[in-house]
Structure 1
Amino acid sequence: MIRGATSFSLLAWIISFTILTTLVIFLRFWSAKIQQRKLYLDDGFVLASYVAMLAQVGLDLWGLHHGTGNPSSEYQPEELIVQMKLLVAVSTTWIFSTTVVKLAVLQLYMRIFSTATFKRWAISLMVVVVCFGITFLVVFITHCHPVSQEWDPVPWGWCRDLKYSELSSISINLALDTAIVVLPMPWLWHLQMRTSKKIVVMIMFGFGFATIAIMCYRIDQTLHSDPDPMIAIARVGLLSNVELWLGIIVACLPTMAPFFREYIQPSLSTLYSKLSRSTVSSTEQAPQGPYLGPYQDDMRLVSSEAPKLRTGFSPSGPQEGPHGDGIYVQKEFRTHGL
C-alpha cells in the first residue's frame, strides 16, 4: 500500500506526466491524420518508446505499492525483495525507451534535411545510439552475477557498485542528447526563411536542452546521493522518468504543427480580430471609401506589390508541399477582380 508523503508526491508526478505524454502522443498521430500522411519510421520509434514508458510506469506504481519513497528502515523484508527486482526491470525499460526515442528524433531529422552531409552525421549518431542502448542493456541486466544475487544471494555471487553504472550511462546519455540537439542547428540557420521563423524552429528543436538540464541534475544527485539507499534510488528514479517523459514530448513537438494550424491558429486569429475591431471602434471610426453599390462587398483592391516568396516549415519531409510536411518555398501573388 502507498504510504508516506514522498510516495504520494511521486505518484502525483507519475500520473501528471503520464497523462501529458499520452496527450502529446495522441496529438502527434492526430496531426498525421489531419495531413492524411502515411506513418513514418520515426512514428513507430516514438510509439515503441511510449509503450516502454508505460511499462516503466506500471513498474513504478508496483514499486510505490511496495514502499518506494520511504526510508529503508520502514520496508518489510518482502518489500525490499520487490524493490531489488524492480530495479533491474526499470533499468531495462528505461534504457530501451530512451534509446528508441533518440532514434525517433534522428529519423525525423533525416526526413527534414536531405543533404548528404547531414544524413551521414545523423546515421553515424544512430549507430552510436544503438551501441549505447545495447551496451547498457547488458550492463544493467548483468549488474549482479547471478542476476538474482540482490534478492536471493548465493555465497559465490557478486554485484558491481550501481553508482558507477549510473554515472557512466548518464554521462554518455548526456553527450548523445547534446549532440542530437546541436546537430540540426547549422542547417536550420542556413534555410531560406525569415530570421524570426528560423529562431522559432530552432527553439522548437532546442527544447531538448530541458532533458540535458535534467540529466545534469541527475548526475549531481547521483554523486551526492542520500545516505539511505532507498531514498536515493527514489530520487534518481524520478529524475530518470522526467528525462524520459520530456524526451518523448520533445520528439513529438515538431510533428504537431498541423494540429495547431488547424485548431489553435484559427482561434487565435479570431480572438486577435475581435480585439483589433474593439480597439478601432473605441478610438475613431475608420474612413469610408466611396459607395460602390450592391456589389461593394465583392470588390477587391488592386495591389501594386510584386509577387512574394513565402517559406514555411513542417516536419514530415520536403516533398509534400505547403499542405504537407517539410520545409518549402511558395510564390504568392495578389490578384483582384469582381
Structure 2
Amino acid sequence: MIRGATSWSLLAWIISFTILTTLVISLRFWSARIQKRRFYLDDGFVLASYVAMLAQIGLGLWGLYHGAGNPSSDYLPEELIVQTKLLVAVSTTWIFSTTVVKLAVLQLYMRIFSTAAFKRWAISLMVVVVCFGITFLVVFITHCHPVSQEWDPVPWGWCRDLKYSELSSISMNLALDTAIVVLPMPWLWNLQMPTSKKIVVMIMFGFGFATIAIMCYRIDQTVHSDPDPMIAIARVGLLSNVELWLGIIVACLPTMAPFFREYIQPGLSTLLQQTIPHHCLVLEARAPEGAVTKCWWL
C-alpha cells in the first residue's frame, strides 16, 4: 500500500506527467489529421517510446504500492524483493524508451532538412544512439550474475556497483542529447523564413536543453546520493522519469503547429483584438503634392 509523504509526492508527479504526455501525444496525431499527412516513421518511434513509458509507469506504480520512496528500514522483506526485481525491469524500459525517442527526433529532423550533409550527420547520430541503447540494455540486464542474484542470491553470484552503470549511462545520454539539440541549429538559421520565425523555431527545438539540465542534476544526485539506497533510487528514478517525459514532449512540439493554427491562433487573435486597445500613431510627412498624413495602427 502507498504510504509516506514522499510516495504520495511521487504518485502526484507520475499522474501529472502521464496526463501531460498523453495530451501532447494526442495533439501530435490530431495535428497530423488536420494536416492530412501520412503516418511517418518518427510517429512510430514516438508511439513506441510512449508505450514503453506507460510500461515504466505501471512498474513505478507497482513499486509505490510496495513502499517505494520510503527508507529501507520501513520495508517488509517481501517488499525489498519486489523493489530489486522492479529495478531491473524499470532500467530496461527506460533505456528502450529514451533510445527510441531520440530516434524520433532525429527522424523528424530528416523530414525537415533534406540536404545530404545534414542527413549524413543525422544518420551517424542515429547509429550511435542505437549502439547506446543496445549497450546499456545489456549492461542493465547483466547488472548481476545471475540476474536474480539480488533477490535470490547464490554463493557464486555477484553484482556490479549500480552507481557506475548509472553514471556512464547518464553521461553518454547527456552527450547524445546535447548533440541532438545542437545539430539542427546551423541549418535552421539558413532556412528561407523571416528571422522572427527562425528564432521561434530554434527556441522550440531548444526546449531539449531542459532535458539536458535534468540530466546534469541527475548526475549530481547520483554522485551525492542519499546514504539510504532506497531513498537514493527513488530520487534518481523520479529524475529519469522527468527526463523521459520531457523528451517525449520535446519530440512532439514541432509537429503540433497545425493544431495551434487551426484552433488556438484564431481565438487568440480575437481575444487580443477585444482586450487590447488600438492606438493610432499619426505621422505627417511632406511630399511634393503637399502634406501627407499616415496612421499606423499599433
Q: 2:39, 2:241 → 1: CA distance?
A: 27
Superposition deviation, residue 193 in structure 1: 1.3
Q: 1:81, 1:59 → 2: CA distance?
A: 14
In our comparison, the structure showing a higher alpha carbon Rg is 1
Query: 1:208-262 CA distances to partner (integer Å, 9 max, x unpaired)?
Result: 0000000000000000000000000000000000000000000000000000000
Superposition deviation, residue 115 in structure 1: 0.2
Query: 1:36-82 CA distances to partner (integer Å, 9 max, x unpaired)?
Result: 11010000000000000000000000000000000000000000000
Question: Normalised by the size of structure 2, how large is the TM-score?
Answer: 0.90
Q: 1:92, 1:29 → 2: CA distance?
A: 27
Q: 1:106, 1:261 → 2: CA distance?
A: 24
Q: 1:149, 1:194 → 2: CA distance?
A: 60
Query: 1:293-313 CA distances to partner (integer Å, 9 max, x unpaired)?
Result: xxxxxxxxxxxxxxxxxxxxx
Decide which structure has greater helix share. Answer: 2
Q: 1:141, 1:160 → 2: CA distance?
A: 11
Superposition deviation, residue 269 in structure 1: 1.2
Q: 1:10, 1:153 → 2: CA distance?
A: 30
- Aligned pairs for 1:1-338 within 5 A: 1-270=1-270
Query: 1:92-134 CA distances to partner (integer Å, 9 max, x unpaired)?
Result: 0000000000000000000000000000000000000000000
Give the secondary structure class of the aligned counterpart of 2:126: helix
Question: Normalised by the size of structure 1, how large is the TM-score?
Answer: 0.80
Query: 1:160-194 CA distances to partner (integer Å, 9 max, x unpaired)?
Result: 00000000000000000000000000000111211
Q: Which runs of 4+ in 1 moved over 3 A?
A: none
Structure 1 unmatched runs, 5+: 271-337
Q: 1:263, 1:37 → 2: CA distance?
A: 18
Percentage of identical aligned residues: 93
Q: 1:132, 1:230 → 2: CA distance?
A: 27
Give the secondary structure class of the aligned counterpart of 2:155: coil
Q: 1:106, 1:98 → 2: CA distance?
A: 13
Query: 1:287-337 CA distances to partner (integer Å, 9 max, x unpaired)?
Result: xxxxxxxxxxxxxxxxxxxxxxxxxxxxxxxxxxxxxxxxxxxxxxxxxxx
Q: 2:40, 2:34 → 1: CA distance?
A: 15
Q: 1:190, 1:255 → 2: CA distance?
A: 20
Which one is further off, 126-135 or 189-198? 189-198
Superposition deviation, residue 201 in structure 1: 0.4
Q: 2:95, 2:5 → 1: CA distance?
A: 28
Query: 1:124-147 CA distances to partner (integer Å, 9 max, x unpaired)?
Result: 000000000000000000000000
Superposition deviation, residue 195 in structure 1: 1.0
Q: 2:113, 2:231 → 1: CA distance?
A: 45
Q: How many residues align?
A: 271
Give the secondary structure class of the aligned counterpart of 2:139: helix
Superposition deviation, residue 34 in structure 1: 0.5
Q: 1:110, 1:36 → 2: CA distance?
A: 20
Q: 1:111, 1:71 → 2: CA distance?
A: 48
Q: 1:175, 1:55 → 2: CA distance?
A: 26
Structure 2 unmatched runs, 5+: 271-297
